[in-house]
Chain A
Amino acid sequence: MPAMRRLRWLWVLVVCAWVVLAAGCAPRERARADGRVEIVYWEKWTGFEGDAMRAVVDAFNRRQDRIWVEFLTVSQVDQKFLLSTAGGNPPDLAGLWSANTSVYADLGAIQPLDQYCAEAGITPEQFIPSMIGEMIHRGHIWALPTAPASLALHYNKALFRQAGLDPERPPRTIEELDAMAERLTRRDERGQIDVAGFLPSDPGWWNFAWGQWFGATLWDGDSQLTITSPENVRAFEWVQSYARKYGAKDLQSFQSGFGNFSSPQNSFLAGKVAMQLQGVWLHNFVDKYQPGLEYGVAPFPYPADRPDLAGHTFVDVDNIVIPTGARHPREAFEFIRFLATPEGAELLANGQGKFSPLRAVTPGFYQQHKHPYLQLFVDLSYGPSTFGQPKLQIWRELSAEMGNAFTKIWLDEQPARAALEEVQARMQPKLERELRAKRRKGQLP
C-alpha cells in the first residue's frame, strides 16, 4: 500500500533527525591521527599577549610527541570556565586571574596541584614568594603563576623638565607626589585643566586599593572587614583632596577627553597625565604607540610618616588551572610543568613584556629583556610589603562596592569616611555569611 510506505519513510526521516541531534550532543573526544592526547586550553589573552602564549604552546607541541595542546582564546574566560565546569564539560586547562584562584578552589571547580607538583619536583620555593602566594590557599597549590605583574609610578620626564623638576628625582613620599603634581598641573587660557600632574582616578583599575598604599587592608584575614580603618579613611580622604584641590567637575571634564588605554590617546602616552600608577605591561604600549616617550619608573610613594612602606607594591598574576572534571589532567599538567621551567616562563615573559614568576632565570634574561625598567618591577615583587586581592568569594562584589564608593568620593558627593562606612555596613554581613558557609563545608575551623 503506497500510503503505508510513505508513512514508513516519514518515520525513517524522524529517526534520522534524532540521530543527528543526539550525535551533536555527544561529548567531544577527537582521536588524533598522530596518536597524541589532545588537551584543550582556554586562555583569556588576545592580541600580542595571546600570541605570546600561543608561542609557548607551539614550543611545547614541538618538543615532544605525546601530547597536543589545542590553544583557544576565550573572552570572559572566568565566566565561561564557570559554566562549562558546572556543566561537566570543562577544558583541560584554563588561564585565569589570580583573584579567581581561591574562589574556584573553595567552590570545587579546580583541582589541587600538590600531588602533580610533588611528582614533578616543583616546589613553592622555586617561585617569587608574592606570586606563588596568590596561588596557595588553605595550604594547597591550586594553580601556577604564568605572567606576573607589579605596579609602580610611571612619570613623564619631559613634563618634569618643563615644570622645572629634576627628571631623575621622582617623588618618594605621598607629600612629594602631591607637591610635584601641583607643579606639573597646567591649565589652558580658559582655565581648564590641560595636563594633570597626578590623578588617583587614572587609569582607575585599582580604585579599591588606595588604602593599601597607606598601609591599610580591606580584610583582617579573619572575621572582619577593615574598610573604615584609619589608614583606609586617610587614603580616601587623600583621594578626595585631589577632587577638592582641582575641582571635581573640572577633573571630570578633563578625564572624559582621555582615549582608550590601548591607543596613542592613552592619557599617559599622550602626555595628559604626568605621573601614573601603572603595571609592568605599560612599556609594551609605550613601545607600540609612543616609542619616543621619555619616561621613568619609581616605586609608588609612601606616606612620609610610614617609611616602613617604602618599596611596596600591588601584585597581580595570571594563572593556569586544571578544572575539576578535566579529561586529561595528567597530560594537562605536563604543559603547566613546561611553563614552570625557565625556558617556558621566559618565552612567555619576553612575548608579553613581563618578567618570569620563577626565581631562577637563564643568564642574561634581565639584560636582554626589552623593558628598560624590568628589574625594578622584579625587585618590587620580592619586597616585604606586597599586597594583592583578598581571597574571598565576596571579593568581586566588594571591589564593585569599593569602586562605587571611590566614584562618590572622587565626584565629591560624599565625605570619604561616610562612603567607606556604607561599604563596611553593606559588606560585613556578606563576609559573615560566607564564613558561615565555609565553616559548614569544613573549609574553616
Chain B
Amino acid sequence: MSRQEKQRLVLGLAFVSPWLVGLAVFQIYPIIASLYFSLCDYSVLETPTFIGLANYADLLGDEVFWQALYNTLFYAAFALPLGLVVSFATALLLNTGVRFMAVYRTIYFLPSLVPAVASALIWLWLLNGKYGVINEGLLHLGIEGPGWLSEPAWTKPSLILMSLWGVGHAVVIYLAGLQDVPKQLYEAAELDGAGWWGKLWHVTIPLMSPVILFNLIMGLIGSLQMFALPYIMMPGGQPARSAYFYAVYLYDNALPYLKMGYASAMAWILFLLTLGLTLLALRLARGRVYYEGG
C-alpha cells in the first residue's frame, strides 16, 4: 500500500467510525454481555453474580417457559404456512394486469403500515365476543362465534387470523419477484399446451422459489419473536396463559421480574432455536430452490 492509499484508508475508517463505534457499543457489546449475563444472577440494579448454567437448568424445569415455547411454535406452525399461501396468492391476483392495479396494490399494502398498537386496539373490538363485528357477521351465517379473546382455546387462532392482516410486506416482495419471471418462459409453456395451473406450477413457482424461501425465513423469525399484539391484547397471556408468547415471557423476566440473567438465557435459547430452524429450512430447500444464473 502506498502512503497515499494508507492515508485514504485511515480517513475512510475515520468517516465510518461513528457507525463502527455504534455497532460495537450498541450491538456487539450487548450481544456478548447478554451471553455473560445468561450465566449470571443479574437484577439489572446489582452487579451480576456468576452462577454457571443454573439459568439454563432452571428453564428446563420451568413450566411457563415450555408453555410459552409451545404457544409460540403453535402460532408459527399455523401462521407461517398460512401467511405464505395467502401472501403468494394475493401477489398473483395483484399481478394479473386488470385496471386500477396500482390502487389495489396500495390497498393491500396499507394494513402493514398501521402501527402494532393501533391495530391491536382495533382487533380488540373486532374480536370482542359480545359486540365484535366478526361475531356479528358469523351470526348472520347462523354461527354463534366464540369468545375469541376470552376462551383459552381461541386466543391463538385469533392471533393467527390477525397475522394475515400484515401480509402486505411479503406481497410486495412477491410482486417484485413476479415482475422478474421472463415472459418468454410463459410463451414457451403456452406453446407446450400448459394451462393456468401448468404455468403456475412449472414456471412461476420454480422461478419464485428463492423469494418464497426468503419470505419463509423472514416469516419464521418474525413469528418466533411475536410480541406486540399478545402483549397489548392479552396481558400476561391471559386467559390461562393460552396467549403467553416466548418474547413476552422473556420481557416479563427481564424487567418486571428483575431477572435479566434468566431473560438473557431465554434470548440465547431463542437465538439457537431460530438459527436451527433457519438452517433446517435452508437444508430442506437445497435442490428445491432455483437460482437463476446461480
Q: Which residues of A contact B (CB under 8 A)?
A: 7, 10-11, 14, 17-18, 21, 79, 82-83, 85-86, 103-104, 107-109, 249, 252-257, 393-394, 396-397, 400, 403-404, 407-408, 411, 413, 426, 437
Contact = CB atoms under 8 A, between A and B. Distances in A.
Interface string B124-150: 000011110000000000000001011
B16 to A, nearest CB: 10
B45 A256 contact: no
Contact of A413 (B14, B149, B240, B258): B240
B236 A403 contact: yes
Find the residue from B131, B151, B240 having the highest chain A CB count within 10 A: B240
A256 B128 contact: yes
Interface stretch (B68-76, B200-208, B249-257): B249-257
B106 interface: no
B238 A407 contact: yes
Contacts of B236: 400, 403-404
Nearest to A15: B14
Contact of B45 (A7, A109, A403): A109
B115 to A, nearest CB: 16
B46 interface: yes
Contact of A14 (B17, B45, B147, B150): B17
Contacts of A393: 43, 258
A10 B12 CA distance: 10
Given A252-B151, A403-B238, A404-B240, A82 B18 contact: no
A146 to B, nearest CB: 22
A417 B65 CA distance: 23
B100 interface: no
B7 interface: yes
Contacts of A10: 11, 15
Contact of B150 (A21, A83, A252): A252
A261 B44 CA distance: 34
A107 B260 CA distance: 14
A36 B156 CA distance: 56
B256 A256 contact: no
Given A21-B18, A107-B43, A411-B239, A397 B129 contact: no
Given A108-B45, A108-B46, A257-B130, A408 B14 contact: no
Contacts of B128: 256-257
Contacts of A404: 236, 238, 240-241
A393 B239 CA distance: 25
Contacts of A400: 236, 252
Find the residue from A103, A253, A413 having the highest chain B CB count within 10 A: A253
B227 to A, nearest CB: 15
A85 B45 contact: yes
A252 B45 contact: no
B210 interface: no
Given A252-B147, A256-B150, 18 more contacts: A11-B14, A14-B11, A14-B15, A18-B18, A82-B44, A82-B45, A107-B43, A108-B46, A109-B45, A252-B129, A252-B150, A253-B150, A254-B130, A255-B150, A394-B257, A403-B236, A404-B238, A408-B240
B238 A253 contact: no
B11 A257 contact: no
B257 A396 contact: yes
B144 to A, nearest CB: 10
Given A109-B45, A256-B130, A404-B238, A82 B150 contact: no
A16 to B, nearest CB: 11
A18 B19 CA distance: 11
A255 B239 CA distance: 13
B130 A14 contact: no
B111 interface: no
B5 interface: no
A408 B238 CA distance: 10
Interface string B238-281: 11110000000000100111100000000000000000000000
B57 to A, nearest CB: 13
A107 B45 CA distance: 6
Given A86-B45, A256-B147, A407 B258 contact: no
* A-B CB proximity, top 9 nearest: A257-B130, A256-B129, A107-B45, A14-B14, A252-B150, A396-B256, A256-B130, A397-B257, A79-B255
Contacts of B151: 252
B177 interface: no
Contacts of B45: 82, 85-86, 104, 107-109
B244 to A, nearest CB: 9
A88 to B, nearest CB: 11
Contact of A411 (B46, B130, B152, B258): B152
20 contacts: A7-B7, A7-B11, A11-B11, A14-B15, A14-B17, A82-B44, A82-B258, A86-B45, A104-B45, A107-B46, A252-B147, A253-B129, A393-B43, A397-B252, A397-B256, A400-B236, A403-B236, A404-B238, A404-B240, A408-B240
B292 interface: no
Interface string B40-52: 0101111000000
Interface string B215-250: 000000000000000000000101111000000000
Given A253-B130, A253-B147, A17 B240 contact: no
Nearest to B237: A404
A107 B257 CA distance: 13
A358 to B, nearest CB: 31
A15 to B, nearest CB: 9
B63 interface: yes
Nearest to B239: A407
A418 B87 CA distance: 45
A383 B151 CA distance: 40
A103 B258 contact: yes
Contact of A17 (B18, B63, B130, B256): B18
A328 B7 CA distance: 48
Interface string B7-37: 1000100110110000000000000000000
Contacts of B241: 404
A294 B150 CA distance: 31
B294 to A, nearest CB: 40
A257 B131 contact: yes
Nearest to A422: B63
Contacts of B147: 249, 252-253, 256
